[in-house]
Structure 1
Amino acid sequence: MDLATILGIVAGLGLVVWGILLSGELSSFVDITSIVIVLGGTIAGCLVAYPLNKVKDAVVVAKKAFATKNMNASDVIGKIIDIANIARREGLLALEEASDKIDDDFLKKGVMLIVDGTDPELVRNILETELAFLEERHGDGRSIFDTLGSLAPAFGMIGTLIGLINMLKTLEDPSSVGPSMAVALITTFYGALFANLIFIPMAAKLKLRSREEIMIKEVMVEGLLSIQAGENPRIIEIKLKSFLPPKERKESVQKEGVEG
């Protein structure tokens, strides 16, 4: 579970509630009709923009914003170096047995392509095609939350307009103008809150998760092609660590020193 996502949402809601309590009552900001207009309208707009199956998949996509990474680049590089050492000692055919211990389907597919003697250029094309479609699928899921983030404030404004129209019908009673105006503005508040605390930040988190996963897959592609080319495992390690930021490279070196 990614604590940053949960802490961010909880902290954001907490600060909003705190600000409300400093100057008023929390009950004044609770309006079921406004919530229905904002959330219902936002989801309805999303259904117009995307096929039903894509909207359903948004729930599955949202889980990635709350999940931690299954593996990091340093761990992947370590696995690839292990595979390279096996290939150097026993040959590429020995990797078929080693592939049984690989959990990642993408890496396992690449290893089996090498074992089958597939042309290196074809291996690259197959893996990079899969990467391209993976990135496209990630983009589809992320775009749904971008759309939700843009629609929520709009439907908040629609709710406000509805409230203002109803308020204008009762202008003969001056005492009702203030409360009616407050209720009318609540939908704008909900639209801005949902968009800026949940939908837009989740789209940004999904974009980050996608970049991290694609980068790890690119490390796998480069490592597998280097193994197939018969490069020295030490050279492969140096090459793959160029994908890492300087801080992670130092941590990796320190970890190796401790293990040694």
Structure 2
Amino acid sequence: MDILSLLGVILGFAALIGGNFLEGGSIQSLLNAPAAIIVIGGTLGAAMLQTPWLQMRRAFAIFPWVFNPPRNLFQDGLDRVVRWAMAARKEGLLGLETMAETEADHFAQKGLQLLVDGSEPESIRRVLETEMIVNEQRDLDAARFYESMGGYSPTIGIIGAVMGLIHVMRNLADPNELGPGIAIAFVATIYGVAFANLFLLPVANKIKTCIQSQSQYRELIIEGIIAIAEGENPRNIEVKLNGYLP
């Protein structure tokens, strides 16, 4: 669990509600079901309209990364690469076959299998880098689903406010209804702006950070496997890959 993400969400909305109280407002003044339906439904609908099904499904699949990001243990990855290098030095590349079969990381397993098959270093690099780039782009496209929602949300909030003002105008004959009516109308604007800036855009950026970290981890694996294929000394490989450590 990423405590920082959880605290960020709580602090952001707590500051909004707390500021409302300090100004003499109440929680009831911020609650408006029609405004919430307009903002949430309109934002989601607009984002769905521009997003292919597979991309949207991937966006929902990686949403948990915000609070439970993938664990890319760079030190553990470096240690594994060094173990592979030592095994290859002692037993040859065929000695990695057992390690490849038991490797839990699919990406690393693919690289080890290419080593065992005797592929050339440049061929291994092309295969692994292609897979890394394709996966990275797929996840970035999925993150843009939340980024697009963050762009639409404030505008949908303004639309909700205008719709509320239209209803207020119908009560111009009753001045007592104007003040509360206008206040309720602008709740939609608050929902739209707050939803975008306190949740959707931070979610998109947090997912992008996770994607970047994952790609860096895979770069470590690629460079390690290429170094093994080129017959480098395990100690030299370790020194070379230390630069990837946080």
Pick the TM interval, shorter chain: over 0.9
Partner of 1:148, secondary structure, is helix
Aligned partners of 1:46 and 1:55 also within 8 Å: no
Aligned partners of 2:72 and 2:213 also within 8 Å: no
Aligned partners of 2:59 and 2:139 also within 8 Å: no
Q: 1:146 aligned to 2:139?
A: no
Aligned partners of 1:43 and 1:148 also within 8 Å: yes
Q: Which moved more, 1:38-47 or 1:98-107?
A: 98-107
Q: Distance in 1 between matches of 2:150 and 2:35?
A: 17
Per-residue CA deviation, residues 38-74 of structure 1 (Å, 9 max, x unaligned), is 0000011011111234333322121111113323211
Which runs of structure 1 show a deviation greater than 3 angstroms over 4 or more consecutive aligned residues?
none
Report the equivalent of 2:195.
194
Give ranges in structure 1 of 5+ residues lacking alignment: 249-260
Aligned ranges 1:57-206 → 2 under 5 Å: 57-206=58-207
Q: Distance in 2 between matches of 1:98 and 1:53?
A: 33
TM-score by length of 1: 0.91
Q: Distance in 2 between matches of 1:222 and 1:52?
A: 34
Aligned partners of 2:69 and 2:210 also within 8 Å: no
Q: 1:2 aligned to 2:9?
A: no
Q: Distance in 2 between matches of 1:53 and 1:106?
A: 21
Partner of 2:244, secondary structure, is coil
Aligned partners of 1:83 and 1:95 also within 8 Å: yes
Aligned partners of 2:88 and 2:96 also within 8 Å: yes
Aligned partners of 1:34 and 1:187 also within 8 Å: yes
TM-score by length of 2: 0.96
Per-residue CA deviation, residues 205-230 of structure 1 (Å, 9 max, x unaligned), is 01100100000000100000000111
Give ranges in structure 2 of 5+ residues lacking alignment: none
Q: Distance in 2 between matches of 1:138 and 1:56?
A: 11
How far off is 1:24 after superposition? 1.4
Distance 1:11 1:216, change over 3 A: same
Q: Distance in 1 between matches of 2:54 and 2:98?
A: 39
Q: Distance in 2 between matches of 1:53 and 1:230?
A: 41
Report the equivalent of 1:218.
219
